[in-house]
Every structure is written in structure tokens, then in C-alpha cells.
Amino acid sequence: MRYAASLARMAALALRRPRLGLALLGAAWRFRARGWYRRAPFLPLPPPEYVAWRMHTAFGDEEATPDAQLLARYLAWAVRMNRERGS
């Protein structure tokens, strides 16, 4: 997966729809690698193998990058599920 392209799309989405910014941060936190603070670059990024697997299972291509509309739908769904779980 092309991280730069995905990160750019996510940043653009957060700028266009600020209410999704917190949902985007929450999703990024859920996808982080375990023990990320012990390995350089010391950023809570998901393992590349995991992201490739997720893209393959969702889109049939490990190099796929979801468009902004699909990402926004996923984030809205995640927020809804989190609210229902917390109720």
C-alpha cells in the first residue's frame, strides 16, 4: 500500500470534513502496531503486512487505496458502532 497517498487522502478528508478528524485519529489508533513505541520510527503506524492484507480482503488488491468517500463512510460506521457499544 502506498502510505503517502493514503495519508494525503486522509489529511484532505480531515480538512474538508473536520468532524471526521477525531474519528480518523481513533481509527488510526486502533490500527497501530503493538509495541510501536519500542521500534523506530516510534510512530503508531500499522504493520505494512496488515494493511496489505486489509486492502486485499476489501478490494482484491494489496496496493489499493480507498477513496475519500469510502473512507468517510467507514469512519461514520466506526463512530456509530462505538456509540452503540458504549450505550
pLDDT digits (tens, 9 = 90+) for 45-70: 888 898 889 889 999 999 888 888 88
For the cut 70, the answer to whether the pLDDT of residue 6 exceeds it is yes
Q: C-alpha grid cell for residue 66? A: 480507498
- Chain-wide mean pLDDT for the chain? 86
**What is this structure's pTM?**
0.72
Of 7 and 25, the structure prediction assigns the larger pLDDT to 25
Query: DSSP assignment of 8-71, as one string?
Result: HHHHHHHHH-GGGHHHHHHHHHHTPPTTGGGSTT-S-PPPHHHHHHHHHHHHS-TT----HHHH
pLDDT at 33: 92
